[in-house]
Amino acid sequence: MDSKAKYEYWKEISDYDLKTAEAMYNSGRYLYVAFMCQQSIEKLVKGIYVLHYDIEAPRTHNIWLIISKLLDDQYFIKDQVDYLLDNKIYFADLLYYYISERYPTYKERISSRIDKEKAFQIVSKTKEVFSCLISQYK
Return the CA Rg of the chain. 15
CB atoms within 10 A of CB 12: 12
Structural domain count, the chain:
1
Residue-wise pLDDT for 36-93, tens only, equals: 999 999 999 999 999 999 999 999 999 999 999 999 888 888 889 999 999 999 999 9
Domain harbouring 43, CATH code: 1.20.120.330
Residue 49: closest CA among 66, 62, 61: 66
Q: Are 5 and 62 in contact (CB under 8 A)?
A: no
Cβ neighbours, 10 Å, residue 68: 14
- Domain holding 85, by residue range, is 3-137
Q: Is 62 left (phi over 0), alpha (psi -120 to 50) or beta?
A: beta
Residue 114 CA: distances (Å) to CA of 59, 100, 110, 127: 27, 12, 7, 18
pLDDT of res. 55: 96
Calculate what percentage of the chain has a pLDDT beyond 70.
89
Give SS3 for 75: coil
Which band of pLDDT confidence, cut at 50, 70 and 90, is reported for residue 100?
low
pTM to 2 decimals? 0.91
Amino acid 78: pLDDT: 86
pLDDT of 137 above 80? no
Rounded to 10°, the helix 78-86/88-102 angle is 50
- 47, amino acid identity: G
pLDDT at 104: 65
